[in-house]
Amino acid sequence: MPAPLARALHDLPTAPLCVAFSGGLDSTALLHLLAAARPTHGLRAIHVHHGLHADADRWSAHCERVCAELGIGLAVIRVNVATTGEGPEAAARAARHAAFESALAPGDVLALAHHLDDQAETFLLRALRASGPDGLAAMRRWRAFGAGRMWRPLLDVPREALLAYAQGHGLAWIDDPSNADVAFDRNFLRQRVLPLLRERWPHASDALARSAALCGQSDALLEDEDARALATVASVDPQCLSRAGLLALPEARRARVLRRWIARLDLPALPANGIERIEREILGARGDAEPVFHWHGAVVRAWRDLLHAEAMRPDWPSGWCVDWDGRSPLALPTGDALMLQGADGFDAPLRVHARQGGERLTRPGRSHSHALKQVLQELGVPPWEREALPLLSDRAGALLAAGDLIHSAAFDAWLRERGARLTWRREAATHDAIAIDGD
C-alpha cells in the first residue's frame, strides 16, 4: 500500500461511520479501504441519487452491488436539485449535503473521499474568489456537520495513489461523464489549468494543498482573537452587533468579525463584495437611516446603533386577515405563530392581521389612546420587527395587541383575570444554505 494511504487512517474514529459513496474512483477506494480497516457492522454508506443524468439509476444499482459484496449497508437518497443563483454545481452540492445531514444520527461520522488534488483545486477556486485565510484553508480534515462530524481522511493522498490502489485490488467504479465538462469551474481547473501548471511545476498540487494547510493554521490563530473581538461588540440578541463597537475595531479585524458572526448565525457566506457593501452602505449610515443589504436569501440591516442579520422572511400577503378563537396555535403567513396559553380560547373569535397604518390603542394605566407607531418607536422596536408584527383586533376593529409586545388595557385585564398569556413565536427564518466546501 502506498505510504500516503497507509497514513490516511491514523485517526480512524470509533464512532459509527458513514461513507458518502458516489460509486466513483475516490469513494470506491475509500469504502474498500475502510471496510478492510474496521468491522463492517459499524460502517455504512450513503449514495445520493441526484436524478440529473440518464444513467443515475444504473449508478445507484452499481453502488448497491458494491456494498452488497462488501457486506456494508447502503442507503440511497433521492434528491431534487433546485436551481439557485450559485449555479448547478453549488445547487447539487447543497442538495447532497442536505441529504448527508439528514442521514446522520448524533455522534455519527460522515467520511468523504476528497483527496490532495481536490484540495489543490479548492484552494485555487477560493483564491479566484478573493478569499482570505479562512477560505484559502479550503477543506478541513475534521469539522462539525449536522448532528455529527465530517471526516476527510484522504486530503494528503494524491489521486494517482487512489487509482493505483483501486487497480491493484481489482475494484470497479463509475466514470461520470460530467466530470469532463469544462463548463464547470472545478472541471476547468482539473482538465485545463492544473495540467498546465504541472508541466512547469510537477509538484503544483502538493504545493497548493500545503498552502491550504498553512492558511488553516494561520486562520486558527486568528480565530481566537476574532472570538474575543466579537464578544466585545455583541449584544443580548445574537442577531445584533453594536455598530459603534464594530467601527472601533481595526478594519481587517472588523471584516473577520463580520464573517464569523454571519457564520455563527448559520447564514449563507457573504459574497466577495459583501464586507465592502456593509462597510460602505451600512456601518457608516446615519442613526435614523434604515440601510439594507441582501444576499442569497439573507439580509443585514442597520438601525440606531444596531447591525442586525437574519434570513429573509416572507412578507405579509396584501389584505391578509383571519378569525382566530385562540384554542390552537395560529400559523402566520410569515412563518411565525400566535398562541394563547393558560386559557381555553377567547370569549368570541378575534381577528389577526398585518399592520395597515393608523392603528391606535389605550395601554394599561393610560387614560387615552396612542398611535401604535409612536408606541413602537418609544419601545425601541426596530422597523423590520414592526413590519412583522401580527395584530389582534376585536370584531369592531379595536386593536387589542401587537404580537406579544403591546397589549391594550382591556386585553391586558382579560389576560390577567385568567392567568393567560399571548405568545408570538418567531420561528428561525430559513434559507438555502450553500456549502462552501469542495463537496
27 is in an annotated binding site: yes
Q: CB–CB of 307/246 below 8 Å? A: yes
Read off φ and ψ for residue 355, nearest 5 degrees: -70, 140
Cα–Cα dist 435/269, whole Å: 9
In 3D space, the residue among 311, 310, 303, 312 whose CA is nearest the CA of residue 242 turns out to be 303
Report whether 235 belongs to an annotated binding site: no
d(CA 338, CA 325): 11
Task: Check the annotation: does 26 bind a ligand.
Answer: yes
25 known member of a binding site: yes
CB 239 within 8 A of CB 157: no
The reply, when asked if residue 218 is annotated as ligand binding, is no
By DSSP bridging, strand 17-20 and strand 43-49 are parallel
User: Which cell numbers hold the place of 271?
Assistant: 459574497
SS3 198: helix
Q: Pairing state of beta strands 148-151 and 109-111?
A: parallel
Q: H or E stretch including 58?
A: helix 56-70
- Sequence-ordered list of residues with C-beta below 8 angstroms from that of 432, at least 6 positions apart, any chain: 82, 84, 94, 268, 296, 297
Q: Which residues contact 47 (CB under 8 A, 6 or more apart)?
A: 21, 22, 23, 59, 60, 63, 64, 74, 75, 76, 77
CA-wise closest residue to 165 among 8, 389, 325, 323: 8
3-class secondary-structure state, position 431? coil
- The response to whether 22 counts as a known ligand-binding position is yes
* Pairing state between β 391-393 and 148-151: unpaired
Bind-site residues for ATP: 22-27
Bind-site residues: 22-27
